[in-house]
Structure 1
Amino acid sequence: MNWLNASFTVFGEHILWTDLVGNVLSLGVVWLALRKTVWTWPVQITGALLLLAASLHAHAPGNALKQVLFVVLASYGWRSWTRRQRMEEGLFIRQATVRERLVLLAALVVGTAVVAQLFVHLDWLKIAWSPWANAYIFVGSAVATFAQSRALVDFWIIWVLVDLVGVPLALKSGLYVSAAVYGIFFVMVMAGFRNWLRESRQRDLPLPDRNKAVTT
């Protein structure tokens, strides 16, 4: 399957088509999430499979494992959103409770520590640059995707935290398109956070105030 390794050159750098198309689809995922459409999930699965191929080509096993996890979690998110949208009230966007935030934070911290140790001690993974950064992105992406599947506003903030480490890691791995996309992600994620937060706050208003907020 030579097409998986197909590339083109820009300014002397080889750009994988799988990396390019996969990241374009990833941007599409953010746009679809902004619109709260269930198409978010099949597009994310397709993009993850393409980025999996790109990561294997770039010998970035941490990123490759992240894409595998994306496929699993996106399948769960697809099922969850489909079920929720069939309900009378549709997809209910809300802010995480204090308990949920503590659980997400604990999962991020403990998960990063555990996965980092696996990356250090499992030689076949060959994490050549910062196993802690790879572990953080791996676990952070999983936590963000899970929070998204639960329609929690907080998932946008988790993505921002992941992006802050994702840019240098992608550059180090030679995935230049991925690095550029992380920057675009930041802008789109902030817009998504603003829109979801506003909607969640409107749901908490009394009905007369909610109708007034929608019309203004």
Structure 2
Amino acid sequence: MDIISWLNAPVFELMGKPVPWSDVIGNICALATVYLALRRNIFSWPVQITGSIFLFSASISAGLGGNAARQVVIVAAAIWGWSQWKRSREESGEIRVRWATWPERLLLVAALAAGTAGFGWILAVNDWSWNPYPDAYIFIGSLVAMYAQGRAIVEFWFVWLAVDLVGIPLAVMGGLLFSGIVYFVFLIMVIAGIIDWAKKSKQTIASPSEPAQTIAGHGAGG
């Protein structure tokens, strides 16, 4: 059996749907990624890259073109985020987390809205996904979240929360039931991440007319 056949071979069935090895391993890595990010551990990035490779195979087998493309770009984004955290740790000995400024928040929302509309249109026109706009939303939302994570701002957790709320039903409808269950576990971990990073950040939330006051957070793991 070649590697592709093995990746797409079912490990078990969940509600009558086969769950392939690629989906299981990829989501285990995804859960580990979120846990390590919560701990502000730099190894969250290489684990994310590994998980994305497996989830790419799972998405292709499920016919989710947008989600498959998402995994490719996530690898590139993870490499960038990894370099950002590595630089931060080298400069200060820790990964410093903070609340975003209002301009940064507006940028995140605008990128999510415009990116979803644009990429969703591309998926729809080329018939690359059976559910183009939710698929695009998850794809763009993941990139926006990773950008925010690379910048070590607390709001990255809120973006992941928004992605999870769409990711759960989309994964289930696409036949990736195991992924849907993992997305639900993500919700719990994301809420924990919001609370933890908010505590670690000493930055006050800036008003639209005032600059944010950045004060270092506590030490990072990893």
- Whether TM exceeds 0.5 here: the answer is yes
CA RMSD, Structure 1 to Structure 2 (Å):
2.0
Deviations 1:76-123 (A, max 9, x none): 011111111011352110000000000111000111111111111113
SS in 1 for 2:18: strand
What amino acid does structure 2 have at the position aligned with 1:119? L
Report the equivalent of 1:128.
Answer: 130
Deviation at 1:9, TM superposition (A): 2.9
Give the structure 2 partner of residue 3 of structure 1: 6
Q: CA deviation at 1:132?
A: 1.1
Distance 1:86 1:106 in 2: 32
Distance in 1 (CA, whole Å) between partners of 2:78 and 2:165 is 22
Matches within 5 A, 1:141-180: 141-180=142-181
Provide the C-alpha distance between the structure 1 equivalents of 2:143 and 2:62, rounded to a whole number of angstroms.
21
- Residue in 2 aligned with 1:34? 38
- Give the aligned residue type for 1:64: A
The higher relative CO (CA closer than 8 Å, separation ≥ 6) is in 2
Once residues 205 and 150 of structure 1 are traced to their aligned partners in structure 2, the CA distance between those partners, rounded to angstroms, is 13
Counterpart-to-counterpart distance in 2, 1:18 and 1:185: 18
1:43 aligned to which of 44, 47, 50: 47
Offset at 1:197? Answer: 0.5
User: Do residues 82 (structure 1) and 86 (structure 2) align?
Assistant: yes
Q: Which protein has the bigger helix share?
A: 1
Rounded Cα–Cα distance in structure 2 between residues aligned with 1:45 and 1:52: 11
Q: Secondary structure at the match of 2:40?
A: coil
**Post-superposition shift, 1:170?**
0.2
Asked whether 1:192 is paired with 2:193, we answer yes
- Could you tell me how far 1:206 is from its partner in structure 2? 8.9
| Equivalent residue, structure 1, for 2:182 | 181
Q: 2:99·2:203 contact (CA, 8 Å) conserved in 1?
A: no
Task: Give the aligned residue type for 1:128.
Answer: W
State the AA in 2 paired with 1:9: F
Pick closer, same or farther for the CA change 1:202–1:105 going to 2, 3 Å: closer
Provide structure 2 residue ranges, at least 5 long, that are not aligned to the other structure.
205-212
Structure 1 unaligned spans of 5+ = 212-216
| SS in structure 1 at match of 2:19 | strand
Using structure 1 for the length normalisation, give the TM-score: 0.90
Give the count of matched residue pairs.
206
Which whole-Å deviations, capped at 9, do the CAs of 1:30-60 have from their partners, x for residues lacking one?
1101111110000000000000011111111
- Check 1:89–1:55 CA distance in 2 against 1; reply closer, same or farther (3 A cut): same
TM-score, with structure 2 as normaliser: 0.88
Change in CA separation of 1:202 and 1:144 when aligned onto 2, cut-off 3 Å: closer
Identity %: 43
Residue type of the alignment partner of 2:37: A
Q: Which portions of structure 1, spanning 4 or more consecutive aligned residues, are displaced by more than 6 angstroms? A: 202-207
